[in-house]
Chains A and B, each alone.
Chain A
Amino acid sequence: MRILGYKLSATAQIGVVIVLINVLVAVLAPLIAPFDQATPVGDAWADPDAQHWLGLDNVGRDILSRLIYGARMSIGLSLVITVLSFLIGVISGFAAAVAGGWIDQLLSRLVDLLLSMPTLIFAFVILSVLGSALPVLIVTIAVLDSTKVFRLARSVAINIVSLEFVEAARLRGEGWWWIVTREVLPNAIPPLTAEFGLRFCFTFLFIAALSFLGLGVQPPDADWGSMVKDYRDMINFGSAAPLYPAAAIAILTIGVNFVVDWMLSIHSRGQGEGA
């Protein structure tokens, strides 16, 4: 299998398959889920049977259906948050690198300020004060995440800005928008793509953690982190219920990482040729 003209490694192939399956499930959730995610369909903690392959949960909802809808919520949410954090982080990071001077200082110190506080605690405070509505959740995590994107984007851009083709553009009299979008961005795509995959994983795990602690996705919407939280006690009674969402989290994380590792390896190989 090949992507973008590069041969996929064995692990990358596994990763691509995992990611594709997850995305398909998320997109097609209402079509493939056998039951509704929020409606009880039987007794609490009913054992798996032919109709309910993974059994029912604490209020009698179908666990498989919740897992399928959970994919939609967890992946969709992570994707929206990661995209937003990249928009904020990349634009401000590039601006800092290209403009330099006090703009760079201002943005960098602001980011230092945000980074100096533990992310989870900070998110706690915001979400406790403002509530866990989805828009609040999205913006909070995206802003916190964008600080890390900012750091990477800024350092990548600083390396590119020091190259002579950027100097040539400056000498021509180009404005900063041209320099950012036409000179810097195309050359920053490979490291940023790899970072995007990684940040997606972190975001995904972070939402799971917040949900587990009760500050993330709110009931009755299903997401994998809150499912682990809701089902966790059942492990004491020999039920595998909490393991399904936990396994889903683990598998998707591993799959995305496989793909990211492969992207990083082609990126570094590309650099090796230049040296």
Chain B
Amino acid sequence: MSQATQDASRSEDNSIILDIRGMRVAVRTDSGEGPVLVDDVSLQLRRGEVIGLIGESGAGKSTIGLASMGYTRRDCFIVGGNIIFGDTDIRAISMDERRALRGPKIAYIAQSAAASFNPAHTLMEQVCEASVRHGVLSRAEARAEAISLFKQLDLPSPETIGSRYPHQVSGGQLQRVMAAMAMVAKPDILIFDEPTTALDVTTQVECLAAFRKLIRGHGTAALYITHDLAVVAQIADRIMVLRRGKMVEFGDSRQILQQPKEEYTRRLVTERVAGHSFVDANGAGEVPILAIEHVSANYPGKPKVIDDVSLDVRKGDTVAVVGESGSGKSTLARVVTGLLPRVAGDVRFNGLSLPPRLNERSKDQLRRVQMIYQMPDVALNPQHTLLETIGRPVAFYFNRSRAEVRARAIELLRQMDLPESFITRKTSDLSGGQKQRVSIARALAAEPDLIICDEVTSALDQLVGEEILRLLKKLQEDLGVAYLFITHDLGTVKRIANKVAVMLKGKVVASGDTATVFSPPYHPYTELLLSSVPEMRPDWLDGVLASRATGAAMTAALLRAP
């Protein structure tokens, strides 16, 4: 009872609404129970309380979210424990009865709002549909409730936004509309499954603030599932840390952040905190390896995506290009590689102009610029073995014999801290982090001068991503390769880049040494980005919102600027 919510403004009734005890979820196999996904997890959610579930992929957090409604993914089943919602034993009732609970009693907010809305219907229709269908509200009541929720969620023009279609609002707005859809029927429990993960940092702040206001205003209980400890700290009263289906630690948010008891939690907390040191400028050499000079580019028949961008990368440099989605940072990479021909300006490599188009470049020019992608799953051919994947650039660029190719591939595997025996495995058999190491090995096999890293850690779990960054850093020290590091994650930038370029709407708004760009006086957009990165303290969001309130007009004007 000591963990009852302290917030007096919430619902008086703080009885237990969801009681999960000793829950186990397993994969269904031909012979019965297969691998266990969630093992002996217990939690009691009280009315008005928010519990954060945090862990890496495979930790079982989404499985717990679904299981608390009595659902599982296909080919999985709940094998043990009790799930009591109010007075109802969810495991004891039929699927039809469970379906009746979902919506009016327990609502679910998924990661990708875009995939959850039907593009053919207006937002208002879809927001009201479930509660009207369940007979909870009349259509008029549902409309009125929806408009009131749009207001509470700080959506623009709440009276009329409902008549728009999903593609006519931004991703962050759609995510908030989805929260409204969940809240219309006034459920007892909201389940948030990574609702801000796909959003830009500045948008994430808005959504977090709106969600928190909504939950607090209505006194709704919630499970908040995320992989980002700093995010969940802003919204949850208690946090459960999960790993491989088991509970690692469960406690008050402040305690988890400030005095984590378990080693694993401590690592999660410290990896983020440790990052805040600037890297020394170690770039050297007179002529830059890569000089981007006043480059503009656009897709055929479309307006310019990047406009008059200039940037230098020297030997041993790590230059980060940061910006939100749509800022043109990935397009810049496509221009450098020649996938998208530039329309103006020049790209020089070791002082010589690179042809704009990929197929006009020589084999040697291609070899010297390599790329590592965001999604290791699609960046490697799933049908190829590691030998084929890593060996191909060696054979292709250097014309080596089979034995030499194999020896070089094994050498590269070793550099990546992967076992030699992996050489015959198919890339599809590897984990995400291992795949990313293979991508790096493939890039290094070409012995490049420059590697373009496009969001290389954002599809990976936090601790795995850290290992990849450490590996890249070590390789740079050993080999002197330069990185052009494209990312939206400012934490990463601070840790590994010595130079940074901040992009906004296709232009570089600030650039220079990381320490200079990220120290006052800031460019206003840099400041906005920096202040939007969640920090590992529960009061962070309050602080940001307070300071935004004063600078709100400036921020809004900046984001709207052409």
Q: Please, what's the 1-or-0 string for B303-342, where 1 marks a CB less than 8 Å from any CB in chain A?
A: 0000000000000000000000000000000000111000
Checking B74, B338, B361, B371 against A168 with a beta-carbon cut-off of 8 angstroms, the contacting residue is: B371
Contact B392 A172 (CB under 8 A): yes
Quick one: which of A172, A183, A272 has the most chain B CB within 10 A? A172
Q: Given the known A-B contacts A164-B373, A272-B74, are A171 and B366 also in contact in the complex, defined by CB atoms under 8 Å?
A: yes
* Docked CA distance A7–B337 (Å): 45
Does B101 lie at the interface of the complex (its beta carbon under 8 Å from any beta carbon of A)? no
Asked if residues A167 and B381 are in contact (CB atoms below 8 Å), the reply is no
- CB–CB B363/A173 < 8 A: yes
- What residues of chain B lie closer than 8 Å to A274, measured between beta carbons? 377
Residue A155 at the chain B interface, CB threshold 8 Å:
no
* Residue B235 CB within 8 A of the other chain: no
CB–CB A173/B378 < 8 A: no
How would residues 194 to 235 of chain A score, 1 for a CB under 8 Å from any chain B CB and 0 otherwise? 000000000000000000000000000000000000000000
Chain A 157-186 near chain B by CB (<8 Å), digits 1 or 0: 000000111011011111000000011001
B344 contacts A by Cβ under 8 Å: no
Which chain A residue lies CB-closest to B446?
A172
Contacting pair A168 B373 (CB below 8 A): yes
Residues of chain B in range 384-420 having any CB-CB distance to chain A below 8 Å: 384, 392-393, 396-397
Give the distance in Å from the alpha carbon of A89 to the alpha carbon of B59 in the complex: 45
Do A187 and B74 touch across chains, with their CB atoms under 8 A apart? no
Interface residue from A171, A183, A187 paired with B339 (Cβ < 8 Å) = A171
Q: A172-B392, A172-B393, A173-B363 are in contact. Are A167 and B339 (CB under 8 A)?
A: yes
Task: Check if A187 sits within 8 Å of B382, measured CB to CB.
Answer: yes
Give the residues from 241 to 275 in chain A that come closer than 8 angstroms, CB to CB, to chain B.
272, 274
Compute how far the CA of A4 lies from the CA of B435 in the bound complex, rounded to whole angstroms: 25
> Could you mark each residue 46-80 of chain B with 1 if its beta carbon is under 8 Å from any beta carbon of chain A, else 0?
00000000000000000000000000001000000
B515 to chain A, nearest CB (A): 33
Q: Does B472 contact A (CB under 8 A)?
A: no
Q: Hey, which chain B residues are within 8 Å of A167, CB to CB? A: 339
Complex-state Cα separation, A50 to B30, whole angstroms = 49
- Does B352 touch A at the CB level, under 8 Å? no
Chain A residues with Cβ below 8 Å from B382 are 187
Q: Which residue of A lies closest to B337 (CB)?
A: A171
For residue B369, which residues in chain A have a CB less than 8 angstroms away from its CB? 171
Measured in the bound complex, the distance between the Cα atoms of B392 and A105 in whole Å is 32
Nearest CB of A to B29, in Å: 12
Residue of A nearest to B372 (CB): A168
Q: Which residue of A lies closest to B380 (CB)?
A: A165
**Contacting residue for B383 out of A171, A173, A186, CB 8 A:** A186
C-alpha gap A182/B396 in the complex (Å)? 14
A189 closest partner in B (C-beta)? B383
CA distance A191 to B377 in the complex (A): 20
Residues in A with CB closer than 8 Å to B370 are 171
**B379 and A164 contacting across the interface, CB-CB below 8 Å:** yes
Cβ–Cβ < 8 Å partners of A173 in chain B: 361, 363, 366-367, 396
Residue numbers in B under 8 Å from A187 (CB-CB): 381-383
B136 touches A (CB below 8 Å): no
Complex Cα gap A64–B379 (Å): 57
B367 contacts which chain A residues (CB < 8 A)?
173
* A191 shortest CB reach to chain B, Å: 14
Interface size class of B (residues with CB under 8 A): 20 to 34
Residues of B within 8 A of A164 (CB): 373, 375, 378-379
Minimum distance in angstroms from A161 CB to a CB of chain B: 12
Give complex CA distance A158, B407 in Å.
Answer: 35
Assuming the A-B contacts A173-B366, A173-B396, are A168 and B358 also in contact, with contact meaning beta carbons closer than 8 angstroms in the complex?
A: no
User: Which secondary structure characterizes the binding site on chain A?
Assistant: helix
Which residues of A135-166 have CB atoms within 8 Å of chain B's CB atoms?
Answer: 163-165
B442: Cβ under 8 A from any A Cβ: yes
Question: Which residues of chain A have C-beta atoms less than 8 A from B358's C-beta?
Answer: 170-171
A39 to chain B, nearest CB (A): 52
> Are A172 and B366 in contact, CB atoms less than 8 angstroms apart?
yes
Chain A residues lying within 8 Å of B383, measured Cβ to Cβ, are: 186-187
Contacts of A186 in B (CB 8 A): 381, 383-384
| Shortest distance from the beta carbon of B459 to any chain A beta carbon, whole Å | 12
The answer on a CB contact under 8 Å between A163 and B378 is yes
8 Å CB contact of A183 from B366, B381, B397: B381
List of A residues within 8 angstroms of B74 by Cβ: 272
Please name the residue on chain A nearest to B452 by beta carbon. A171
- Chain A's closest residue to B365 (CB) is A173
A171 and B338 CA atoms in complex are apart in Å by 8
Instruction: Give Cα A172 to B439, complex, Å.
Output: 13
Residues of A contacting B384 in the complex (Cβ-Cβ under 8 angstroms): 182, 186
Q: How far apart are the CA atoms of A55 and B517 in the complex, in Å?
A: 95
State the CA gap A274–B379 with chains docked (Å). 14
In the bound complex, CA of A84 to CA of B231 (Å)? 58
Contacts A163-B378, A164-B379, A168-B373 given; does A174 touch B396 at CB 8 Å: yes
Cβ-defined contact, B366 with A165, below 8 A: no
Contact mask for chain B residues 420-463; partner A; CB cutoff 8 A; 1 contact, 0 none? 00000000000000000000001000100000000000000000
Cα A164 to Cα B452 with chains together (Å): 14
With contact pairs A163-B378, A187-B382, A272-B74 given, residues A168 and B396 touching in the complex (Cβ less than 8 Å): no
Contacts of A183 in B (CB 8 A): 381
> Considering the chains assembled together, what is the distance between the CA atoms of A141 and B366 in angstroms?
45
Residues of A within 8 A of B363 (CB): 173
A4 to chain B, nearest CB (A): 14
Contact residues in B for A172 (Cβ distance below 8 Å)? 366, 392-393, 396-397, 446
Q: Please, which residues of chain A bring their CB within 8 A of the CB of B379?
A: 164-165, 168
- A94 CB, nearest partner CB in chain B, Å: 15
Task: Tell me, rounded to whole Å, the shortest Cβ–Cβ distance linking A146 to chain B.
Answer: 25
Kindly report which residue of chain B lies nearest to residue A187, judged by CB atoms: B383
Query: For B375, what are the chain A residues with a Cβ–Cβ distance below 8 Å?
Result: 164
Interface centre among B30, B338, B375, B379 (most CB of A within 10 A): B379
In the docked arrangement, what's the CA distance between A75 and B377, Å? 41
Contact present for A165 and B378 (CB under 8 Å) = yes
In the complex, the chain B residue whose C-beta lies closest to that of A165 is: B381
Determine how close the nearest CB of chain A comes to the CB of B372; give it in whole angstroms: 9
CA A172 to CA B390, docked complex, whole Å = 12
For the complex, give the distance between the alpha carbons of A235 and B338 in Å. 71
Question: How many whole Å from A197's CB to the nearest CB in chain B?
Answer: 21
Within 8 A of A (CB), among B454-497: none
Given contacts A173-B366, A183-B381, A186-B381, contact A168 B442 (CB under 8 A): yes
* Nearest CB on A from B114, distance (A): 15
Instruction: Chain A residues near B337: list those with CB within 8 A.
Output: 171
- A183 to B377 alpha-carbon distance, docked (Å): 14
| Besides the known contacts A171-B370, A172-B396, 4 further A-B residue pairs in the complex with CB atoms under 8 A apart | A171-B338, A171-B358, A186-B384, A187-B383
A-B contact pairs, 22 of them (CB 8 A): A7-B30, A165-B378, A165-B380, A165-B381, A167-B339, A168-B379, A171-B337, A171-B339, A171-B366, A171-B369, A171-B371, A172-B393, A172-B396, A172-B397, A172-B446, A173-B367, A173-B396, A174-B396, A186-B384, A187-B382, A187-B383, A272-B74
Task: Report the 10 A-B pairs with minimum CB-CB distance, sorted nearest first.
Answer: A186-B383, A173-B366, A165-B381, A164-B379, A163-B378, A164-B373, A164-B378, A173-B363, A171-B337, A165-B380
